[in-house]
Copies of this chain bind each other. A is one copy, B any other.
């Protein structure tokens, strides 16, 4: 059994196809066929069920794949140890960011980070929390930025900042007269929400339900972007909640519709999340330092109340 063979097993398990897996491994398909055969012969057990189309894992195969992922991850850590020893911060680093954090956070830290760590090749993708967790676990992402806590055993969290919710309330809304909002003011019925899948949406729903148990069966309107939410709100279709960093980019007219919460302000915890094996931990730490350094100037709320990003 070799680490290379385990790589092949993982690639095939992922693509359910020898030919595609071979491409990803930069070898020819017969190489995979023979290496898998050798491994299966050595273990004297079938890993893949070639009868099914597309190819499927056998029962042992699933367990072997799980263990193979462990081994491959652990073996990657050797290079990591060496890099750490040398103080080398570089190489490819794949980062996933949730949509409601991406447009505000990224411009803030990206420039200074790539300047400070020019050898790190950052590859950033916009993904949902679920996709980020999945890909971290499969080894396709080195880390993610998402709302926490996630309460996932395999994933570690490192809080970056606490971002308060801010009410966006058009002038004709019943709450427009209130200078400071209370959580108890919120009515889910006239709350504009993001589409399903956004954890910010789930946070808002949790917040509304936190105070009174509201019916969550149908919401008035949903949208895919926060910008659209603001426009819908301006049309008089309801109020909405925005993450604090989003409010910094609004023009003065729109800013006049912002209503902050009385403290403790409800807020989401935004964290760097990564696999518990702490692969590439030195880059993760560099990222953490960069981001929390930048953000310290932008967000200064001492008293917040964290809202879970997971629907309860």
Does A311 touch B at the CB level, under 8 Å?
no
CA distance A98 to B63 in the complex (A): 35
Interface residues in A1-31 (C-beta closer than 8 Å to B) = 1-3
Does A263 touch B at the CB level, under 8 Å?
no
- Which residues of chain B are near A63, meaning CB under 8 Å? 81, 85
Does A34 touch B at the CB level, under 8 Å?
no
- Which residues of chain B are near A298, meaning CB under 8 Å? none
- Contact code string A42-74 (vs B, CB < 8 Å = 1, else 0): 011100000000000001100110011011001
Shortest A279–chain B CB gap in Å is 12
Contact A82 B44 (CB under 8 A): yes
Checking B64, B77, B85 against A78 with a beta-carbon cut-off of 8 angstroms, the contacting residue is B64
- Give how many A residues have a beta carbon under 8 Å from the other chain's beta carbons: 23
Shortest A66–chain B CB gap in Å is 9
Given the contacts A60-B85, A71-B71, A78 and B3 also touching, CB distance less than 8 Å: no
Closest to A80 in B: B67
- Which residues of chain B are near A67, meaning CB under 8 Å? 74, 77-78, 81
Closest to A2 in B: B2
Does A86 touch B at the CB level, under 8 Å?
yes
Checking B45, B74, B81 against A86 with a beta-carbon cut-off of 8 angstroms, the contacting residue is B45
Checking B3, B77, B82 against A2 with a beta-carbon cut-off of 8 angstroms, the contacting residue is B3
CA distance A220 to B74 in the complex (A): 52
**In the complex, which of the residues A75, A78, A81 has the most CB atoms of chain B within 10 Å of its own CB atom?**
A78
- Which residues of chain B are near A1, meaning CB under 8 Å? 3, 75, 78
CA distance A82 to B62 in the complex (A): 11
CA distance A67 to B3 in the complex (A): 15
Closest to A62 in B: B81
